[in-house]
Amino acid sequence: MLSASSFLVSAAVLGGVGTFFASVIALARKKLYVWEDPRIDAVANLLPGNNCGACGLAGCRAFAERLVEGAIQPANCTVASPDMREDIAGYLGVDVGAATTRVARLLCAGGCDVAPNNADYLGLQTCRAAAAVAGGGKACAWGCLGLADCRDVCDFDAIYMNEVDLPVVIPEKCTACGDCVEACPKDLFTLMPVEQKLIVQCKNLLEGDEATTACAVACNACGRCVADGAPGLIEIVHGLAVIDYDKNATASPDAITRCPTGAIVWVDGAQQLGPERLEKVLEGAGR
Amino acid sequence: MFDRLTFRHGVHPPELKQLTAHLKIRRLPYPKEVVLPLSQHTGKPAKPIVRVSDRVERGDLIAEADGWVSSPIHASASGTITELGLSPHPDGTFKPALYIAVEPYSAQLPRPRLVPDWRGLDRDGLLHAVQHAGVVGLGGAAFPTHVKLKPPPDKPIEMILVNGCECEPYLTTDHRTMVEYPNRIHLGVRIMMKILGVSKVVIGVERNKPDAVEALERTRPADLDVTVLPLTVKYPQGAEKMLIEAVTGREVPSGKLPLDVGLVVQNAASVGTIAEVFETGLPLVERIVTVTGLGIRKPANLIVPVGTKLRDLLDACGGMTDDAREIVFGGPMMGAAQANLDTPLTKGTTGVIVLAERECKTQDSYPCIRCGHCLDACPVFLNPQQLGKLAAAGRYDEMAAAYHLNDCMLCGCCSYVCPSNIPLSQQFAAARVALRQRKPAA
């Protein structure tokens, strides 16, 4: 049976309960208050907000916290444009700092024009899935499968697939976040400082004709680059030329001049992975 | 008493064993070259102990085991070591391998025993002999047998289960072993019983192999407690956890091993090999392989030296037909497609299937319609539909953490029943590889 009094009683009970909890919350807010530097929020708003993790921290807010502490410098964020870094440095009154610009480099030049397939792969069209089936069927077991897992994972549209199914990194857009490094089942991407211009674009461990049968632009471990480069700069390790980047200062384009396959290259800007990379191979065929 | 005699869920693919089920096991002539990868087993690769240009006899140790979970490798033919280099591996990569140029006919020379007679050995002696004969599981995973035969002391073993299911379509390796060498199976059982100190053995054989059941029953030794148990035909009954459920009704808990429920499971061909090494005195240098499929001219069951190249094997079987389309090592459900004819056969290669065009179906896959067939097929009661959705989105961590990806044995039942042709088990295989590669970085 409803009556006016039952309304009043429930309103009073609920009101009482509400007031009680409201006061508890108000008290808790006072007692448990944690002061946080307001600059963290401000700096976080100035950062790109991609949460890409390229700085090595958990995200942009974690980066902002470390910035305000003074533990790192604005330049450590590789995604932010120079203007954004200046803004942050100006706001905090610190130096922008210098950080090495790094970009993702593809250590394979074996596109579909030079690297034949042993078998046709017809399954699920992702590199990960293809690599799980006989390594993807490419004659070179180390080579790029060209199914674009890296392009799909890139948050910055810094990778496009060229006419021979190789992913090309646009250095201006690449933030060295490392997503492509993780996505590639063949481990072909590596993050390199842009000053490292001498690059072996190959991971094939076979030697001689075995290597060049699998891919015309493979490193066949002939050792010419070792002789032509600065002493100790390049070494043939297990059938592959390996550059010691601790000695990068001594690197020069001399090392690539006699490479018969064009596996070792001098990169300024973007990697040349289109048909133009075949000059060396054609030259060799004409000789 | 109600006999369960099979497990829950699973599928019934066409058996297709008629191509080779009736063919006697023959011996493959020695190829000109054998290639022995150092990694033919689960565990650490073996360490080579020979040098280039060394001469080796069939059965000589050429690479020793690197630790307990590893297995030694022996020369499978007499000849000269020509190279320690990279060779295509059945997993699709290149791996270090020893190349032997085989001397014609020399492999037939008799030689003194390398493995001692089992009668004079105690438990440790037997185990030591099995370990040093390079015996591994011949069912596919090539897990070193001596590890299985030495369970930790706190895990008592009450029964040995011999796996004669061979549930994969096409393959008849275990079947022919059981039909032609039933005495070997029983001798292997006897040796295993002695090593493990177990008195009870069950040999599980699917009902589609009545001649194998009959042969095993006929030769059953009177002094041993051995039961030959015919099981209802279903895939994947040869998976050890499924076989345990079929025979005992016990379920192996997630992440545990058969020995946690008091059992040791060995595949029939492996049991035969344990006996074979003691009988012949030679370590594991050859195995029985089914070469089958409509894409091969002369299907056969062959005794093949380990390390024979795929190309040589196919040539010996009359070569491929013109419409051959795909080569698979192992069964069609779980086997590994091959892309390189120079790939050598390893200890774990149960069969080589050459599929003709008309046996292959390549179909487009369509979106999931949530019919739930995959849930009804999954023998380990996972949710392949949800796993597939997460795999497509690249959410591998969630698959492992919340949906038990690591309990999946990649049997392929879900892909087999999917009306939308979604390659579910391939996605799971890729996800597992991705997680494994990511681990060391973290």
Nearest chain A Cα to B328, which residue?
Answer: A134
In the predicted model, what is the mean pLDDT of chain A? 89
Q: What is the CATH number of the domain that holds B203?
A: 3.40.50.11540
Q: Is A132 on the interface with B (CB under 8 A)?
A: yes
- Backbone phi, psi, residue B207, to 5°: -65, -15
- Contact: B92, A131; criterion CB under 8 Å: yes
Q: How far apart are CA B141 and CA B139, in angstroms?
A: 6
Q: Give pLDDT, residue A1.
A: 60
Q: Is A133 on the interface with B (CB under 8 A)?
A: yes
Q: Is A101 on the interface with B (CB under 8 A)?
A: no
**Residue B108, class by beta-carbon neighbours within 10 Å (0-12 exposed, 13-18 middle, 19+ buried)?**
exposed
Which H/E stretch holds residue B231?
Answer: strand B225-231
Residue B328: inside a domain: no
Q: Which residues pair with B61 in a beta bridge?
A: B74
Instruction: Convert the pLDDT of each residue in A34-55 to its tens digit.
Output: 888 889 999 999 998 888 888 8
Average pLDDT over residues A223-230: 91
- Contact: A131, B430; criterion CB under 8 Å: yes
Q: Which of B337, B423, B441 has the CB atom closest to A134's CB atom? A: B337
Nearest chain B Cα to A205, which residue?
Answer: B86
Q: Based on the fold, state whether residues A226 and A171 are members of the same structural domain.
A: no
Chain B interface, best mutation among A117, A120, A122, A124, by max B CB count within 10 A? A124
Instruction: Convert the pLDDT of each residue in B67-100 to its tens digit.
Output: 999 999 999 999 999 999 999 999 889 999 999 9
Per DSSP, B46 falls in state P
CB A255, CB A233: distance < 8 Å: yes
Q: Based on the fold, state whether residues B129 and B273 are members of the same structural domain.
A: yes
Who contacts A77 (Cβ-Cβ below 8 Å, separation ≥6)?
A: A47, A48, A54, A55, A63, A84, A85
pLDDT of residue B110 exceeding 70, the answer is no
Residue type for B258, please?
Answer: P
CB B71, CB B144: distance < 8 Å: yes
Q: Which residues of B64-97 are buried (b: 16+ CB within 10 A; e: fewer)?
A: ebeeeebbbbbbbbbbebeebbbbbbbbbebbbb
Q: Give pLDDT, residue B3.
A: 56
Q: Which of B282, B287, B301, B279 is nearest to B347 (CA)?
A: B287
Q: Give pLDDT, residue A102.
A: 86
Q: Which residues of B touch A137 (CB under 8 A)?
A: 339
Which H/E stretch holds residue A15?
Answer: helix A4-31
Nearest chain B CA: its distance from A225 CA (Å): 23
- Of the residues B232, B258, B280, which one is the last residue of a structural domain? B280
Task: Find where tokens 């006996």 sit.
Answer: B275
Q: Based on the fold, state whether residues A287 and A205 are members of the same structural domain.
A: yes
Q: How far apart are CA A59 and CA A79, in angstroms?
A: 12
Tally Cβ neighbours within 10 Å of residue B37: 27
Q: Is A227 on the interface with B (CB under 8 A)?
A: no
- Contact: A129, B427; criterion CB under 8 Å: yes
Residue A22: inside a domain: no
Residue B368: inside a domain: no
- Contact: A124, B365; criterion CB under 8 Å: yes
Q: Which residues of B touch A187 (CB under 8 A)?
A: 437
- How many domains, in total, are found in chain B? 2
CB B41, CB B270: distance < 8 Å: no
* Residue A199 three-state SS: strand
pLDDT of residue A191 exceeding 50, the answer is yes
Q: Supply the range of the domain harboring residue A77.
A: 39-92
Nearest chain B CA: its distance from A129 CA (Å): 5
Q: Based on the fold, state whether residues B136 and B272 are members of the same structural domain.
A: yes
Q: Give pLDDT, residue B2.
A: 43
In the predicted model, what is the mean pLDDT of chain B? 91
Q: Based on the fold, state whether residues B153 and B272 are members of the same structural domain.
A: yes
Q: Based on the fold, state whether residues B128 and B270 are members of the same structural domain.
A: yes
Q: Give pLDDT, residue B441.
A: 44
Tally Cβ neighbours within 10 Å of residue B187: 21
Q: What is the CA radius of gyration of chain A?
A: 28
Q: Based on the fold, state whether residues B140 and B253 are members of the same structural domain.
A: yes
How many CA atoms, within 13 angstroms, populate the side-chain half-sphere of residue B306?
Answer: 30
Residue A284's pLDDT band (cuts 50, 70, 90): low
Packing angle of the helix pair B424-438, B396-403 (nearest 10 deg): 100
Chain B residues with a Cβ under 8 Å from any Cβ in chain A: 86, 88, 91-94, 326, 336-340, 362, 365, 394, 423, 426-427, 429-431, 433-434, 437-438, 441
Q: Which residues of B touch A136 (CB under 8 A)?
A: 92, 339
Q: Supply the range of the domain harboring residue B415.
A: 373-438
- How many domains, in total, are found in chain A? 3
Average pLDDT over residues B323-333: 92
Task: Find where tokens 């002493």 sit.
Answer: A231
Q: Give pLDDT, residue A3.
A: 78
Q: How far apart are CA A216 and CA B252, in angstroms?
A: 51
Q: Is A153 on the interface with B (CB under 8 A)?
A: yes
Residue A120: inside a domain: yes
Q: What is the CATH number of the domain that holds A70?
A: 1.10.15.40
Nearest chain A CA: its distance from B210 CA (Å): 35
Task: Find where tokens 């030049």 sit.
Answer: A109
Task: Find where tokens 């030296």 sit.
Answer: B305
Q: Give pLDDT, residue A285.
A: 60
Residue B202: inside a domain: yes
Tokens of A61: 């807010």
Q: Based on the fold, state whether residues A112 and A168 are members of the same structural domain.
A: yes
Q: How far apart are CA B409 and CA B425, in angstroms?
A: 9
The highest-confidence range among A278-287, B112-121, B273-282, by mean pLDDT, is B273-282
Q: What is the CATH number of the domain that holds A136?
A: 3.30.70.20
How many CA atoms, within 13 angstroms, populate the side-chain half-sphere of residue B314?
Answer: 24
Average pLDDT over residues A13-29: 96
- Of the residues A159, A192, A225, which one is the last residue of a structural domain? A192
Residue B248: inside a domain: yes
Distances (CA, A) of B21 to B66, B216, B223: 38, 16, 31
- Contact: B433, A131; criterion CB under 8 Å: yes
- Contact: B88, A141; criterion CB under 8 Å: yes
Least confident piece of the model among A173-177, B157-161, B175-179, B230-234: A173-177
Pairing of strands B94-102, B47-48: unpaired
Bond before B236 cis per omega within 30 degrees = yes
Residue A224: inside a domain: yes
Instruction: Convert the pLDDT of each residue in A237-249 to its tens digit.
Output: 999 999 999 998 8
Q: Based on the fold, state whether residues A199 and A287 are members of the same structural domain.
A: yes
| Structure ipTM over 0.90, yes or no | no
